[in-house]
Amino acid sequence: MSLFKKKNKDSGKERSPEVTSVDRNMASETENSSTDPRVPLLVADHLVYEYSRGTNQLVRALDDVSFTIRKGEFIGLIGHTGSGKSTLVQHLNALLSPVSGTVYFNGEDVFEKGYDRKKLRSKVGLVFQYPEHQLFEETVFADVCFGPKNIGMSRKQAELTAYETIKKVGLPDECFYQSPFDLSGGQKRRVAIAGVLAMKPELLVLDEPTAGLDPKGREEILTMIDSLRSDGDMAIVLVSHSMEDVAQYADRIMVIEKGKKMFDGTPHEVFSHIKELDEIGLAAPEMSYVMRDLKKAGIDVNTNILTVSEARDEILRALG
């Protein structure tokens, strides 16, 4: 019997969700996903979402989107502004409800009547763009304590969790009792992320977490997020406009275009479709173009290169 079960409204029969749904151009990625030994944590099953329903301004923001997130995965979610990325991630903790389709978390349909969605929102932690705008307590420590207390932790446990989480995101001791509003932009961002992490999510979703930061702050936040992989089974979804960022940090990339899932695979698999990405205005990482130029110049290099370190190693190999 399937772990995931839901009644089909039309037929009354049970159906199993499409656990690994990938664009037809990505057959190899389907194989890789279906053989992944990690345990499924969240399954999005044929999600459809529409804005302005019942008007002549109707927009289909999500159009039959299916995928699986497994424990411990680091997924990069990319697409243009307006492609449906933010709409999609707000379905993962049921902030938005689909027109059709559903989401399963740990095998349960999160849109079923009676499902505890308040608990879900502590287990699927969503960090919005510019999350520092949501800071409100007088001190950093109090702000990070708020979430754990709100989900029922004792004061002692909430304070211990807040202390551990503030240290985990790399804030120095002197920040604990400062006002969060006196911190730098990057530090405020860390406080906001700590507030979500303190609720011990199983899935952390970060929507453009480096937006508005200078290059140094951006790199520090990404390095900190990458360090969270050590938290065992916690999965991470990083929504980003930066191809370089997702190429460097993500195990897997999903491309959303006009509400549809266009590609889903490893960074090298997805960015091997450089022509298709160019056609929709999503450039591959800069190093991909550099290596193609070298190939055209007669240097025998592998062109499916994404990062500076990969490019360096490949050029040294080619020049031998």
104/110 Cα distance (integer angstroms): 6
One-character DSSP codes across 70-120: ETT-EEEEE--TTSSHHHHHHHHTTSS--SEEEEEETTEETTSTT--HHHH
Give the pLDDT of residue 38: 76
The answer to whether residues 172 and 209 touch, using CB atoms and an 8 Å cutoff, is no
Give the pLDDT of residue 130: 86
The segments of the chain whose pLDDT lies below 50 read 1-2, 7-34
- Bridge-partner residues for 76, per DSSP? 238, 253
pLDDT digits 0-9 by tens, 286-312: 999 999 999 999 999 999 999 999 999
Q: CA of 124: how far to CAs of 10, 21, 141, 143, in Å?
A: 30, 22, 22, 19
Give the pLDDT of residue 37: 65
CA atoms lying within 13 Å on the CB side of residue 24: 0
Question: What is the number of helices (H) and of strands (E) in the chain?
Answer: 12, 12
From 72, 89, 101, select the one nearest 232 (Cα to Cα).
72
From 257, 200, 187, select the one nearest 232 (Cα to Cα).
200
pLDDT digits 0-9 by tens, 84-132: 999 999 999 999 999 999 999 999 999 999 999 999 999 999 998 888 8
Domain limits of the chain?
Answer: 1-115+202-270, 285-320
Give the pLDDT of residue 21: 35
Report whether CATH 3.40.50.720 matches the domain 1-115+202-270. no
Give the pLDDT of residue 155: 95
Give the pLDDT of residue 35: 55
Q: CA of 37: how far to CAs of 32, 132, 185, 284, in Å?
A: 10, 37, 39, 29
